[in-house]
A and B are shown apart, each in its own frame.
Chain A
Amino acid sequence: MKKISTLMLHNLKKAKGQYISFGVFICLTAFIINIALVLAFQTFNAYDSLFDKLDTADINFIIPELQDNKTLFAEMEEIDGVSFVEKHGGVFMPVTVREFAGSDFDMNTVFYNLDEERTLNLLDVTEYSGMNDGSVYIPMYMKELGGFAEDGSIAYSIDGKEHTYNIGGIVLEMQYGNYGTGMIGGYFPKAVYEDFASEYSDDVIAEYSLKTTGTADLNEIKNTISEILREKGIALLNINDRDTSKQTRTMVCTLLIVIFLALAAIILAVSIFLSNFRIRSAIEDELAQMGVLKALGYTSNMIIASAVMPYILVGIASTVIGIVLSYAVLPFVAGILAIQSGFSYTPAFDIMAMLIVILTLTLVISLFSYISAGKIHKLEPINAIRGITGSESAGQNILLFIVSFGIMVLLSFAGTLLYNVNVKPDNFMNTLSEELPSVIFTAEDGKMTELKEFLDNDSRVRLFMEYASVPVSYEDGSLTAFVCEDFSKTTNDICYEGHSPVKDNEIAVGNAISDGYPIGNEIELTVGNKSANYIVTGYIQSVNNAGSVCQLTSEGYEKIGETTNSVNVYLYNKNADEFINEYEENHDAIIKSSVNFEQMSENGRRMYTGIVSVIVMILFVISVLMVLLVMYVIINGVISRRRQEFGIYKAIGYTNRQLTVKTAFSFVPVVAVASITSVIAGLWYLPAINNTIFSLIGAIKNHFEVSVWIMIVFAILFIVVAFVISILLSAPVKKITAYSLLKE
């Protein structure tokens, strides 16, 4: 080591700029990988530890208080796998939250008594305003996404009546949490709650919270609960469990981790190409010097080490800097995630993540630098001195092509994401959810035909269909069944293999159980004491239900369950609010309840748009930085190698401007070819990338459209930016004079 230190230091000093650019790349890679790893290691753990800290129940279900009976509690305690049961009171109803992120927000809400004694589902009031009178405490999700502050007020519209409360504080809870879980909580101080509960006494519920043993199968327990309630004729208003909530609340985090890791892989690949190019160029440029070093008695390994060690040292230093910098940004990233997850935590220093990042990057840099420098082994000293390399040149154009292609992959991915969230939001929402109607009506018993007649004659209605989500059981647990009168009418085809059921003995099952039920095999479903066998015709996906879903035709479901009475309504225009008001006013006798799904989708879209915008911004910044650094390395090399040529050009009358533009233009063909190739290849690789990323969160089939026009616009922008950067970086050509070359 001591023997090569002089050479190593010399190499470091000689090509400072090259090492700095390499260092910036590695710093960026370490920065992104560390963010992804810390999120991966800590978000899920933070979720679990908050879940445990607040003694959150593994399963919660709510029933109308009027239907609650004395034996139910004991029956719950006796279910195999249940270790503890607690009952809470509450008021459950669909509400419209006014001015939620600037518009109305419909959500099923359970209002609780904040002061009720409880040992499960504890609440952590994280921000307390001290305004207790006439106040409500809202979950963190409402603050993060809805924009409510702890010292402001909030207005709920319930059954057409407006209720405005001061916001007493923000509650951190792990029971519900976000839009994806389908329910959120509201928490009143005792006096306010009692007034509210007496005003809405019909909506008072009993909530059973169940803690289970570590090995218990939650689906099986949920199934048992459903059966018990069914036998007793008790309506199950809602049931949720630990795993589904966790998956829903950490979905964006998972997506972000995958995107960050993919991004880091691309940047790392560029860094490797860059260091490879740099080392090979150095061997080309300093061939004679390497021959001299061999003549002096340096072994090939010593010369390789002196070439590779600076990269490793710079790599390690940059990795450490990247890791340190990532901790400055992690709280911000965790804050963004809190918008979707509804819980916040402060990322802490993670030694495991740090070691993985340092070891991985050091290993990759060492390996690829060594491979790049391996050519030195074959270099005969005398041939090196005589300038015989026995191999081809360093491949600057290949590097530029690969890097341009890589950057275009990033930009195309960013563009596709942006296009499918902002321009065609249904594509994004359809990927993450099931049907996206404008309105969901629940008809009063026996009034479905009448409701459908009204809808059929309404010119504002583009489409309607009977569609409901109901729980069913199978031998390993419970599933959410999407029941539809005709799946060919659905607007979001979530079937990724085979086809949706057509006959009453057919079923399509979710990706969570697809492995156990090959297409063509049978599955037995049970509701209450009725069972039936169905033939699997296809597989469907569902992000929100973690894939534990199935599709049944209405006739198929009626073999085991009651006739459903929900109908999805799709309107031509976005006026669901007005539509619902009118129907509730004019057809009160046939409509039991209605949901403004358009508003709910809009809220979801707004949340995802915010997150995607941040991702896209990061991708843009990284792309520009990559172009800048790669062009710097290449142009620097070109100017250094072609000094003499530039001097001669100047001597015969070329101006600085002409030479700068000429240099910058020389890169355009490669960048353009790479961009065009990437646009063409993008038609194939973008769906593949999207499929890979989204399948990790359970969306095996995504509905993203790859817009060629967006890619072309991005390609043109990329070529222009690369050209402008090249012009700026070619400025040192000005310093070369014919006279200075003569002097040299």
Chain B
Amino acid sequence: MDRQTVISAKHLKKAFGEGESLQVIYSDLNIDIYKGDFTVIMGSSGAGKSTLMYSLSGMDKPDGGEIHFDGTDITKLNNDRLAVFRRKQCGFVFQQIYLIDKMNLMDNVIAAGVLTSKDREDIKNRAKELFSLVNIPEKTWRKTSSQISGGEAQRAGIVRAVINNPNVLFADEPTGALNSANSGAVLDVFTSLHKKGQSIVMVTHDKKSALRGNRIIYIKDGKIFGECDLGNFEQDNMERTEKLDKFIKEMGW
């Protein structure tokens, strides 16, 4: 079956610092992200996983190369056009969650929703649907991030990220700051969204999180060091777990 490419990055270059402190993250990286895939980017600390993800999503500019996102070379866009591009094409889930403090969960979602829709009621209705999808009860919608658990906050963060039906949902270590129970609940939301056809790109170094993806990309030495097709996630799928274990072992994890 032919897979539709959503993001196609060619000859990406990225480095930090200059002179003796120059640190090259990647010098000629090529990667394609496919529609409907749950792509997981893995790699050791400092390998450039997050940097790659933020470049692909237009949050950060590469030093060179091209990134074609849904046909548009986003490296050519200025900051304002990038902002408009992000609001229509991307959703973001962060490790530290970053809900706007002192703003309740519903308003956090609306603050993102108003960027693509003028119909506030429509935004609210979609938000309500998504809140029930991620199991956040109505009584919690009016609470602020400091009044709820980390898991609830991250699930609200996911609602905010998908309220505008993004082409791709980007997640940077979304369970990194959560305990095991909350992590499971958050990952279930990702799985559920993936099943509904949502394209997801997730950076993680957590094996349990990686198992939720269907395509694993391993970054090493500034290159795509390896790639593994896990197939879709099913509960208690020992075969996928073993496949992932074998893959990351091969990658030198």
Interface-lining segment among A295-303, A465-473, A526-534? A295-303
Interface residue A414 (Cβ < 8 Å from any Cβ of B): no
Q: Which residues of B contact A744 (CB under 8 A)?
A: 146
Cβ–Cβ < 8 Å partners of A13 in chain B:
102
Q: How many A-B residue pairs have CB under 8 A?
A: 80
Q: Which of A6, A300, A301 contacts B111 (CB 8 A)?
A: A6
B90: A residues at CB distance < 8 A: 295, 297
Bound together, the chains give a CA A6 to CA B85 distance in angstroms of 21
Give chain A residues whose Cβ lies under 8 Å from the Cβ of B101.
14, 289
Contact with A along B200-242 (1 / 0, CB 8 A): 0000000000000000000000000000000000000000000
Q: Judging by beta carbons under 8 Å apart, are A10 and B100 in contact?
A: yes
| Cβ of B120 to closest chain A Cβ, rounded Å | 9
* Contact yes or no, A297 B111, CB < 8 A: no
* Contact call B60/A296, Cβ cutoff below 8 A: no
Mark each residue of chain A from 269 to 312: 1 if its CB lies under 8 Å from any CB of chain B, else 0: 00000000000000000001101111111111110000000000
Give Cα A300 to B84, complex, Å: 11
A382 at the interface (CB under 8 A from B): yes
Instruction: Report if A380-B96 is in contact (Cβ < 8 Å); known contacts: A297-B88, A299-B80, A744-B146.
Output: no
Interface size class of A (residues with CB under 8 A): 20 to 34
B79 and A300 form a contact (CB under 8 A): yes
Decide yes or no: A295 and B92 within 8 Å by CB, A10-B102, A300-B83, A382-B59 being known contacts. yes
Docked-complex contact B59 and A10, CB < 8 angstroms: no
Nearest CB on A from B30, distance (A): 21
Cβ contacts A1-21/B at 8 Å (1 or 0 each): 011011100100110000000
Q: Counting CB contacts under 8 A, is A185 at the interface?
A: no
Bound Cα distance from A385 to B50, whole angstroms: 12
In the assembled complex, the Cα of A10 lies from the Cα of B105 at a distance in Å of 12
At the interface, yes or no: A177 with Cβ under 8 Å from chain B? no
A381 is an interface residue with CB less than 8 A from chain B: yes
Q: Which 10 A-B pairs give the minimum distances between C-beta atoms?
A: A297-B87, A382-B60, A299-B83, A292-B98, A297-B86, A299-B80, A295-B92, A296-B112, A14-B102, A6-B111
- Scoring B residues 92 to 112 as 1 if CB is less than 8 Å from chain A, else 0, what string do you get? 101010101111000100111
Name which of A2, A6, A7, A301 has the most chain B CB atoms within 10 A of its CB: A6
Question: In the bound complex, do residue B98 and residue A288 qualify as a contact, i.e. CB atoms below 8 Å apart?
Answer: yes
Instruction: State A294–B110 Cα separation when bound (angstroms).
Output: 15
CB-defined contacts of A380 to chain B, threshold 8 Å: 60-61
A-B contact pairs, 19 of them (CB 8 A): A6-B107, A10-B107, A289-B100, A292-B92, A294-B86, A296-B86, A296-B92, A296-B160, A297-B84, A297-B87, A297-B112, A297-B115, A297-B116, A299-B80, A300-B79, A380-B61, A381-B59, A382-B54, A385-B94
**Which residue of the partner chain, among A3, A292, A382, contacts B115 with CB atoms under 8 Å?**
A3
Task: State whether A298 touches B115 (Cβ < 8 A).
Answer: yes
Task: Knowing A292-B98, A382-B54, say if A299 contacts B111 (CB, 8 Å).
Answer: no
Complex Cα distance, B100 from A292, in Å, reads 9
Q: Counting CB contacts under 8 A, is B196 at the interface? A: no
Q: How far is the CB of B2 from chain A (nearest CB, A)?
A: 30
Contacts A288-B98, A297-B115, A301-B80 supplied; 9 other A-B pairs, CB < 8 Å:
A5-B114, A10-B102, A10-B107, A291-B98, A292-B92, A296-B160, A297-B83, A377-B79, A381-B60
A299 touches which of B54, B60, B79, B102 (Cβ 8 Å): B79
B98 surroundings in chain A (CB, below 8 A):
288-289, 291-292, 385
Closest to B103 in A: A10
Complex Cα spacing A300 to B61, Å: 16
Residues on B with C-beta less than 8 A from A298 are: 83, 87, 115
Interface flag for B249 (CB, 8 Å): no
Q: Which of A6, A297, A299 has the most CB of B within 10 A?
A: A297
Residues of A within 8 A of B160 (CB): 296
Interface membership of chain A positions 133-162, coded 1 if the CB is closer than 8 angstroms to chain B and 0 otherwise: 000000000000000000000000000000
Q: B85 CB to closest chain A CB, in angstroms?
A: 8
Q: How far is the CA of A380 from the CA of B79 in the complex (A)?
A: 9
Contact partners of B96 in chain A: CB under 8 A: 288
Task: Give, as a whole number of angstroms, the nearest-CB distance from A384 to chain B.
Answer: 10
Interface assignment of B118: CB less than 8 Å from any CB of chain A: yes
